[in-house]
Structure 1
Amino acid sequence: MTDASKPLADKIALVTGASRGIGAALALELAAAGAHVVAVARNVGGLEELDDKIKAVGGTATLVPVDMKDMDGIARLALALHERYKRLDVLVGNAGVLGPLSPLGHVEPKDWDNLFAVNVTANWQLIRTMDPLLRASTAGRAVFVTSGLSWRAQAYTGPYAMTKAALNTMVQIYAAETASTNLRVNAFNPGPTRTRMYAAGWPGVDPETLPTPEEVVKALLPLCLPACTESGQVYDFIAKKFLAFHPPS
């Protein structure tokens, strides 16, 4: 009999950007739900802190210190997962960078390239390399963290907003391409959250007025579960419901 408190028992869940913020909070939630968590991030210290927290809730994790711009590193990880587990049950593309908030004409090419490399290309590489593993699962679930800025065309948020708009389209296409499979693919918009990234972009906002990552991931976790039937959608944390990818402003 399946333990209702462990809906991801014996499942393998990969989370990128898992060393802090939403990624770390979600990794802990997935572990508490029974999944073995493959935690990916650049920050080794943050991963080790996460591992301690996962062990404290009785969970297990594999720590993978990989930069998301390392295309070969992502491919090697997929090969290692295939050799060890033959499948991947949950993929969460959470890692992202904000980049400079400035007029488009002031953005440096290196910043532009870095934003697209981390926020778009890395997620494409995840899809490219993890797709066979997700299809091998009886209930593969893929979730990518997006932003409401992707459909607002707000001044000074250009490169970041454009990368998230590209991510949205990629999610929709991947969902369409896997519609006849057991895989479900969605995006999740956390909105303003009490994270280091949000504080860096909007330092004037009182963090005490924002939800914590731990609160936000309570709404993200259901998208990772076998019970999730939606695909090709974006779930908005503030609205507490699925929205069109480009809702009216």
Structure 2
Amino acid sequence: MTGRLDGRIALVTGASRGIGCELAELLAGEGAHVYCVARTVGGLEELDDRIKAASGSATLVPLDLLDFEGIDRLGAAIYERHGKLDVFVANAGMLGVLSPIGHIEAKTFEKTMATNVTSVWRQIRSFDPLLRRSDAGRAILMSSGAAHSAKAYWSLYAATKASVEALAKSWANETQKTALRVNSVNPGATRTKMRAQAMPGEDPETLPSAREVAAKIVPLALPDLAETGHLFDVRKGRFLTYHNPD
């Protein structure tokens, strides 16, 4: 372990697989105690085994993020135990359905919005006070290139990620004069289950692994990060600056 996050408290949602799982393990490897949040208990237990094998520490939180009161209880528990939160990664999400807009079923639209947007707002609401108590709070909200390309049939997923970016930008503007840094991340095409669901004919071996992508996101969690209110493009390896109109 390099120890760049020694003594710090991190929380990662969607931590049972994919980018979230790899990022949780890497943050623990940097010395953070990581709250690993996901619905899949088996995946969390496998992650915990790897973290412990590397002498790291974690708290497993089996939680469906549609349990909004559960998110609030988690925030309260972290406050009682640590009094703060240093790193928050809103990674969990769902693809929904690729479909013409008029063919999307109401229940699918509502569940995808609730999972990808409403739950993120609820997490921000619960964790913002904890992050402000850190001397270097870091919030990372996972987005997607779909938020900007708005390709045909991707309307639902694109709308959710555009919403998340809007939340991140406003949150960053609200906290500019604090120690909290808030940024979004476009991971790009990655070898994950969600990508395979969206692109079933694609050769996954042509894509970077979740581990490779997660490693490039870790610097956004470090105390020396200065940037806030930006979108980090993993493929380009740099921040893209948003322009705020007058």
TM-score (norm 1): 0.96
Aligned to 1:216: 213
Q: Is 2:162 the counterpart of 1:168?
A: no
* Gapped regions of structure 1 (runs ≥ 5): none
Amino acid at match of 1:105: G
- Is it true that 1:28 corresponds to 2:8 in the alignment? no
What is the deviation of 1:240?
Answer: 1.1
Q: Cα deviations across residues 138-170 of structure 1 (Å, max 9, x unaligned)?
A: 100000000001011200000000000000010
* Aligned positions of 1:61-100 closer than 5 A: 61-100=58-97
Once the two structures are TM-superposed, the CA of residue 244 in structure 1 deviates from its matched residue by: 3.7
Tell me the SS of whatever aligns to 1:173: helix
CA distance in structure 2 between the aligned counterparts of 1:58 and 1:195, rounded to whole angstroms: 27
Stretches of structure 2 that go unaligned for 5 or more consecutive residues are none
Please name the residue that 2:192 is paired with.
195
Residue among 150, 154, 157 paired with 2:154: 157
Letter in 2 for 1:104: I
- Give the AA of the match of 2:239: F
TM-score (norm 2): 0.97
**170, 182, 187: which one pairs with 1:185?**
182
**Which of 17, 38, 44 is the matching residue for 1:47?**
44
Matching residue's letter, 1:16: T
Which whole-Å deviations, capped at 9, do the CAs of 1:199-224 have from their partners, x for residues lacking one? 01101110000000100011100000
- Distance in structure 1 (CA, Å) of the matches to 2:128 and 2:168: 13
Rounded Cα–Cα distance in structure 2 between residues aligned with 1:14 and 1:219: 17
Correspondent of 2:103 among 106, 111, 127? 106
The alpha carbon displacement at 1:245 in A equals 5.1
What is the CA RMSD across the aligned residues, in angstroms?
Answer: 1.0
Alpha-carbon separation, structure 1, partners of 2:189 and 2:98: 15
Moved over 2 A (4+): none
8 Å Cα contact 1:168-1:245 kept in structure 2: no
What is aligned with 2:127?
130
The residue correspondences of 1:236-247 to structure 2 (distance < 5 A) are: 236-244=233-241
Tell me what 2:224 maps to: 227
> What amino acid does structure 2 have at the position aligned with 1:132?
P
Matched position secondary structure for 1:234: strand
- CA drift at 1:74: 0.2
Equivalent residue pairs, number: 243
Identity %: 53
Residue 204 of structure 2 aligns with which residue? Answer: 207
The whole-number CA distance in structure 2 between the counterparts of 1:132 and 1:240 is 30
